[in-house]
Every structure is written in C-alpha cells, then in structure tokens.
Structure 1
Amino acid sequence: MNVRQITLRNFRNYSEFETEFTDKVNVIIGDNAQGKTNLLEAVYFMSAGRSFRAKSDRELISFDSDAAYIRADISAGGREQKLEAYLFRQKRRQLLANDVKLRTAGELCGRLRAVLFCPDDLQMVREGAAVRRRLMDSCLCQLRPRYAAALTENNRLLEHKTRILRDHHEKPSLLYTLDDFDLRLAQTGAELIYYRAAYAALLSEKASKIHREFSGGRENLTLTYKTVKTIPDPRKKPAELLPHLQEHLRDHRRAELETGTCLSGAHKDDLEIDIDGIPARSFASQGQARTAALSVKLAEREIHYDDGGEYPLLLLDDVLSELDMTRQNFVLNKIGEGQVFITCCEDGRLKSRTGGKVLHIDGGRLA
C-alpha cells in the first residue's frame, strides 16, 4: 500500500504542486512554515477524508482561492487507484475514487490506510480522554467503514440532543423528541462500544509486547477500555449492549436536563494506560510516557497489517526530533516495511540513517 504520486492545487500554501514518492522512506525536509506538515496533511486527508489539524475544509484552501484540489495516485490491495478531493468554501466537498463520486468520507476510508504520529500524540498519555478516543476512532474508521458511519451519526445526534437540553426551557416542546434521540444514541453508541472494546483488547496485546521490547523487558504496559458503568462486558454484541445503555441514559435524564449537557454515552469513553499497574497519566515519567505513546502507535500499525495484509502508510510529523537517539533508533528499526513519510528540519543525518528519498520543501515548492 503506497502513494505513488500526489497533486495539489490551492491546498494550504501549495498553489500548483506535483511529486512522486518512493514506496519506502520519504524524508520531507525544510525550514519551519514552508509546508512540510501541509504535504503530510494532504496525504492523510486522502486516507481519512479529513484533516488531522483543521476543523473545516475551508481552512485547507489557500487564502486567495475559493477551492482546493487533491489527487493521490495509489497502489493498494494489488490495484492502482486514483483518489480525488475537491474542496470548496461555499459548497460541499466532492470525493471521487476512480472517477466515481463517493457519497461520504466513510467510503474513502479503507482504500488508503495511514497511521499518523505527530507531536500532539506524545501527550496521549497525559491528556484527557478525548485524545485517546480520537486514537481509537481514527484507526477504526479506516478498518471498519460501518464504524465510521455509526460515529458520524452518533456525533450528529449528540449535537442535536445538546441543543435540546440547552433550549428546552424556552421551547418545552423539544422535550417530546428526547426519547427518540436517546434511542438512536443508544443504538449507535452500542456499535461504537462493541468495536472499541475489541480494538482496545487487541491494541493492548500488541502495544504491551512492543513496550516490553522498547523498555528492555523492564516495564509492562496495559490498555484498559472504559465505558458506561451499566455495561458489564463491552465485548458483547450491540443488541446485548443496547438495554444497558438505555438504562444509563434513563438514570442520567434528570441530571442532563438540569445541566444542559449530555452526560451518558459512548462520547465519554476512555482508554486507560497503565505501566506496571500504575496509571501512566499521573505517575509516568516523561520518558515512560513517550515510550508508551510510541508503543501504541507502532501497535496500531501492526493491527492494520494483520487486518489487511499490507502495512499502512506511516506518517511521522516532526516527531523524531523530540526523541532521544535510543528512541529514534528503535522507531527507525521498526519501520523497515511499508511506505513511510517523515518531516524534519535536519537533513544529512536522517537521510543517511533511513536511506530514503529526500524532498526539500521551500514555500510550498520543491527546492
């Protein structure tokens, strides 16, 4: 699985850009604010149907333009494919695969898989639950298109329910719709929990093995999936999870009306990270936290490989510079297979250590 070529028009600071990549390691070099991460962002967009740092498509369009274009010529599953994205300021985007329009971003997910590791991910151990939910969502949306559809609907329902809880004092009639929203939230939430529980168990198994190797056998890493308390076993089928979710929603109805916020559901889930049985969020050293984050991301890559028989793209956005030499070497030794993109400001040392193709970016152009 790899991106052979990418074409950009009016995407971020790239007015007209086209380049080919090697199917091994691609080192993207340049000074700060020249477009290294923007190029990585375009590659990631074609795998996930979204940016990893922008909230809307409008942020991806050059300031002096009304539309942007991304084309990725890829090889995946033994097939050559063309993926395209037309982004607009005033109307909805258009996504195409081999000249066929796609209805949703979910239809794009899975055609090209990618694992992203950026500086923010080094904080996944320290930050709140939302960061770790995004970790699960990002991978599962690529692995299971049905999950992506359930997540999109669940997020939409949460927005509507939040407005009802906020506005029902002025518009009491809104409360008549609350039961319907709770039912659909429980149904979509049950699907999310079912997939997350299975994924978390697999991620814990693989990350623990990598972490032991990383730490020289001195530490044991475990990941534990946490969801609503009324669910005794989140690995059950969605139909069996549904009544437990409904019970939790009923128990929290009064508190939700009083606070005007959604207090029950899969949007509160977490993935707890422990090192030697101790919560890493509170007690891990900086080095331990970084090692744990690296282990989780490398484990995510292995899950993709086991599921599809191909390594996903590995996107490393200015991460190696924040790691000591030992951790850098461990990562580089682990990525001998599959296509890799690495952004950095340095040049000679990383090139010699990876043996990869170097692309020097200067002001949105190849230097």
Structure 2
Amino acid sequence: MATKDVTETPEKTQSWAEKINENRSTYMVLGGVILAVVLISFWYTNNLKRKSQRAWALVGAVSSAMSNAQVSDTSLKVEDLNIDAHKLVQQKLGSLESIPQFFRNEATSIDDLHVRKLPEDLRRTVLLKHYKVALQDEIKKSKNTSAAPFLYYWLGNIYFQERNVAEAAKWYEKVINRYPNHFLSAEAEKDMLAANKDQTWLDKQTYDNIENLDDFEANSKTSVQVTTSKGKFTIQLFDKNSKAIENFMSLVNSGYYNGLSFYGISPEKISGGCSLGNGRSEIGKVQAEFQDVYVQRGLVILEQVGNKFGEVCSRISITKKYPYFRGLQRCTILGVISEEDMAIVDSLTGVDVILGVSAKEVSN
C-alpha cells in the first residue's frame, strides 16, 4: 500500500508563518487578555482567601468574647481598642496605680495594659464595644466570604446584649433574607422573634437583677455628707434599699458615727462604722435587702453581721480599687461616692476619724 506524503512543502510553511505574522498583534492581545484573566483570578482568589481568613478570625474572637469574656488575641492591648472602648477603660480604671501589681506585668501605662488583664465585667463590656465596630468594618470588606452570615449574626447578638433590640433585629433580618438556607437563619429567626416579642428577654437571660450603678446615682433622692479629719465626701444613697437606708439614717441622726475611726485599710478598700474599731461590733442590725452587683470603685456596702447571711449592721466598706479578685457579688448597697470625692477616701488612714455625718436632699 502506498503511504501518503505528509511532509509540508516550503510554500505551506511560509504560508503559516505569514498568517501568524499578520495576526501577531491579535494573538498578543488575546494572550495578554488570557494572562490578565489568570492574574486577576489568582489575585481575586487569594484576596478572597485573605478576607475570609481575617473575617473568620474576627468571628472566633467575637464568639470567645461573647461566650466567656475571653480574649483570643492575647496581644490585644488597651491602646489597640477603638475610641469608645478605650475611653471606657480610662474612665473605669483612672490610672495604672488602681491596678494590682500582679496584673500589670511590664505595663507602664493603662494603654500598655493587655486587655486580657482587665477585670471580667469590664473586659466583657470593653470587648463588646470594640468588636461591634470591628464587625461593622469587616462586613463592608467581607460580604462575599463564607463568614459573612456569622458577621451579621454576631453583630445582632452584640446589639441584643446592649438591649438595642431594634438594631439587633435589623442584623438578624439580614441573615434571614440573604442566607435563607443557612443554619444561622433559624437561629436569627428565633432571636429576632424574642427581641420583637419581649424587649426584656435578654435582661432575664443574662442580667437578671444586676443593678446598673451608672444610673442609680442620678436617681438618688438622698445623700449624706461625711466629714473626716482629712476632708469631706458625699455618699449618694441607694434609695431602693429602703429598710437598710432608714436604719442607717437613724444611726446618722443619733450621732452614732461621730468620732469613729477607720479600720481594715488596704489598697482595695477601707471600712468604718464600727464602735470597737476592729470590725466586730454589730450595732444597728437590720434585715438586709440584697442586690447582685459588680463591685467597683466608690461603691459603699453595708457589711453583714458575722456569718449571718440576710442581716447587716452599722459597718460600711468603701471599695477603693477596681477589684480583680471579685466578680459578681451579692451585697447590700448603701450608696456610691463620686470619683472626685474618692480622693479624700484614698487619703484616709487608721488615725483618721469621722467628725460628723449630715443628711441632705438631692435636687435632680
């Protein structure tokens, strides 16, 4: 059988070369387009991957903060917080001197302090403020990532924690409308229903009966001015504890506190109101009205009678430092002292005495 000669002639080779040469610019443009598409696809994929990694890292950090007030980023410092969270830390702590040495480590200022070293209740509040802004910023950058529904959902949860039900419902709706088949959609529906149905639902779940000390001072109708050998300070009384306050005022009016010394003085607190000067007297016993409260600087607490839970007496304690060693406490609140007046309290020693206590009405 004869074989077919497939050898190209010089004329054919020249013809192909001419065609390629004639369309060289077209081929170059086409090659450039293909290369550009490949590079753009590569860039987009990697950029999306970076965004997704960053978004998921934020989701993890928010989840940790929401569930147990822990900081997943151990390098996060106060100086790294957004302006609202940073301002809150400065207001609550005042200066580095208000923090026990054990928690300062190598910090030289409040800004240099690691967020994980903050007391639990303050740390939780600060983290929510910080991550609320972080989530809002990340949502603008990571709408197309797999973490997006989680960003929406956690932002809704933060607003829910802050009792901003309307704003929480808005972000829950985004999860429901944009990701109807996502498992978070069912969770968002449940939370939104709870938010719309009962605005106090969150309070009952997480903050039941915990007093907000930032508000009660403004609503107080009574205060007492305590004159000491170092100066005067005012206690805004917590009127809600009517029995305890009435008992305290009867002691004030009888002149019981005049001439009593201070005792139990430490960097954390100072006590007074004991006729024996050692914290063992039980004058003015009365049935207590208790609150769940996060103990904080300037808080004035009526002390219990011995180990008898449910009964307090004339003795009082004033918290001087933000107490790292305490969390949520059940106590009887007498009142609160302003930060300005706490300068007098900080200066008191065991040789100082109460010269007098006088009551006055507060005009709001």
Which TM bucket (shorter chain)? under 0.3
The structure, 1 or 2, with the larger RCO (C-alpha pairs under 8 Å, 6+ apart) is 1
Give TM-score scaled by structure 1 length: 0.23
- Structure with bigger gyration radius: 2
Give TM-score scaled by structure 2 length: 0.23
Greater strand share, structure number: 1
